[in-house]
Structures are given as C-alpha cells and as structure tokens.
Structure 1
Amino acid sequence: MNIELGPLRPDPSMLALGLAQLFLLMFALGVVLLPRIERVRAQRWDATEGRVERAEAVRAEAEATRDAALEEIGAARHEAARIRQEYTEQGTAAITAARAEGIRDRERLLAAGRARIAADRAAAATRLRQDVGGLAVTLAGRVVGEPVHAIAAERRTVDRFFEAH
C-alpha cells in the first residue's frame, strides 16, 4: 500500500513524535485538566442551580412545617372550643343549682317568717284583748262609780264580747 501523497508525505520519526505528543496531551487533559474542569463546572452548578434546588427544598420543608403548625393550631382551637363549651355547661348547671337552692332557702325563710309573724300576731291579739278587756272594765268602773272587776271576771263579759266579734 504505497500511496503517493506528494509533498504531504510525513516523516515517520516526526509522525511517531507527533503521536507521542498527542497521547501525552490527551493523558494530561484526562488526568489533570478534565477533573479540574469538572470540579469548576460542579461548583458553578452548585452556586446557581444548586441553590435554587436547596431553596425549593427549604421552602417545601417550611410549607410542611407551616401546614403541621396550622393543623396543630386548628386542633388546639377545637380543643379550646370544646373546653369552653364544657365549662359553659358546667357553669350553667352550677347557676341553675344555686338558683334552685336559693329559691328553696327563700321559701324556707318566708315560711319561717310567716309562721313567726302569725305567732307574733296571735300573741299580740291575745295581749291586746287582755289590755282592751282590762281598760274596758276600768272604764266601766269609772262610769258606774264602783269597781266592776269581780263581776266582769265572774261573768266573763269581755271574753264573750271578743268571741262574738
């Protein structure tokens, strides 16, 4: 295979040297330069798009935390409303019981007061009858001019008068 290349015919030693340099250059690129380029590219990606992804992750976590907090607040509000309702019912029951007890006490006091008034009225009426009877007998004695105590006591005139009226 003898191809005539004319003036482009390479020298085999130069061709071997060129190939050796090419492999050396490729080796240097693969071992030193490409890892450095990849590291810089990863840092740039991390600085730009990586922050966006981290920000999205942080935002998603914050939303989840907020949703959990809102759910917890809702549960706490529900519990507070239940407790308020329970204590309102207990307060209403206590007020009703206190009102009933107060009404019973009032009725008891009124009954005792009425009984005491009735007893006092009866005692006052008895005392008044005695005093009026005594005054009537004394007045009758003054009108007649002599004492009528013995006659009035014997005939029970004053008692019969009060019984009739």
Structure 2
Amino acid sequence: MSSSILAAEELNPLIPHVPEIILGIVFFLILVALIAKFVVPSFEKAYAERTAAIEGGMKEAERAQDEAKEALEKYTAQLAEARHEAARIREEAREQGAEIVAEMRSQAQAEADRITASAHSQIEAERVQAIQQLRREVGEISTQLASSIVGESLEDEARQRRTVERFMVDLEGSSNGSAN
C-alpha cells in the first residue's frame, strides 16, 4: 500500500512537488527584491516628480490667478479714473462752452450798442443838418414871402436872420403848444 500511495502521490498532477514549491518561493522572493530595488524607486521617483509638478502647477496657477486679480483691480481702478477724467473734461468743456457763449453774447451786445449809438449820433447829426437846411430854406422862403407882402426888399442879412429866427421860434412854440 505504501507503494500505491507513493504512486498515487506522484501521479497526482494537482499537488506540486515540494522542491518546486521551494524553488518557486525563492524565485518569487528574488523577483520581489529586484522589483523593490529597481522598479519601485523609479515609480516612486516618477510619482514624486508628478506630485511636485502638480503642486508646482497649482502654486503657479494660484500665483497667476492672484496676478490676474491684481491686474483686474488695477485695470478697474484705471478705468474708473479714466471715466472720472472724461467726466471732468466734459464738464470743463461744457463750462468753457457756456463761457464762450456768454462772452460772444456780451461782445454781440457791445457791438449792437456801439452800432446803435453810432446810428443815434448819425441820426442826430442828420437831424441837426436837416433842421439847419430847413431853417435856411424856410428863411429864404419867408424872406421872399415877406418881401412880396411888404413890398420892399429884405436884403439886409442881419435883418433877414432875425426875422427868420423869430419866425422859427414862433413856429416851434405853436407846434409845441399844439403837441402838449
């Protein structure tokens, strides 16, 4: 029976032989040692580099984001300042326009006053000239009329002037009396 048990043990392909198990364990341990010595450090190094790169990238992204925020705040401040400056310039232009309009109006009013004064003085000069001419003509006509009525010549210039003056004073008095 022992030979049949031995023959049965040797013939069973499912049960491995002890030397094969020991040799498999030794090779497995050698393989694990080689992997632990050569492969694992490479994986750990790659993992560390990748972790460092990710952390560095995150820090760089945070720094870039902070810089972007600062730039946005600076841009917003500059934009607000530019808007304020534009509003100030518009207000100055509006004020200057109002000043120019007021100055032009005052210049136009001064020019109109000057033209009016000049016209009044010219009219007054023409009125005085017309009155003098009218007095001469009325004097001549009245002298002729008086000469024909009196029948004598009023050639004396002084007498003629006095007569005309008296006639004009009487005429002005009667026109002023009727105008009131």
TM value normalised by structure 1: 0.63
Tell me what 1:22 maps to.
Answer: 29
Q: In 2 relative to 1, CA 54–147 (structure 1 residues): closer, same or farther, beyond 3 Å?
A: farther
Give the Cα separation in 2 of the matches to 1:113 and 1:68. Answer: 66
1:32 aligns with 2:43: no
Q: Which stretch of structure 1 is more off in the superposition, 65-74 or 149-158?
A: 149-158
Q: 1:58: Cα distance to partner?
A: 6.0
Give the Cα separation in 2 of the matches to 1:149 and 1:24. Answer: 165
Describe how 1:67-146 pairs up with structure 2 within 5 A: 67-141=73-147
Give the Cα separation in 2 of the matches to 1:30 and 1:81. Answer: 74
Deviation per CA, 1:28-77, whole angstroms, max 9, x where unpaired?
3342255247637939x96xx99998777766655554443232211100
Deviation per CA, 1:70-123, whole angstroms, max 9, x where unpaired?
322111000111111122222222322332233223223222221221111011
Deviation per CA, 1:132-154, whole angstroms, max 9, x where unpaired?
2212333444566x564426852
Tell me what 1:161 maps to.
Answer: 167
Q: Which stretch of structure 1 is more off in the superposition, 90-99 or 63-72?
A: 63-72
What fraction of aligned residue pairs are identical, expressed as a percent?
Answer: 28
* Aligned AA (1:88): R
TM value normalised by structure 2: 0.59
Give the Cα separation in 1 of the matches to 2:63 and 2:33. Answer: 40
Structure 2: 5+ residue stretches without partners: 1-17, 173-180
Q: Which has the higher relative contact order, 1 or 2, with Cα contacts under 8 A spaced 6 or more apart?
A: 2
Contact 1:137–1:149 (Cα < 8 Å) also in 2: yes
* Aligned AA (1:122): V
* Aligned AA (2:113): E
The structure having more radius of gyration, on CA atoms, is 2
Give the Cα separation in 1 of the matches to 2:65 and 2:30. Answer: 50
Q: Which stretch of structure 1 is more off in the superposition, 101-110 or 147-156?
A: 147-156
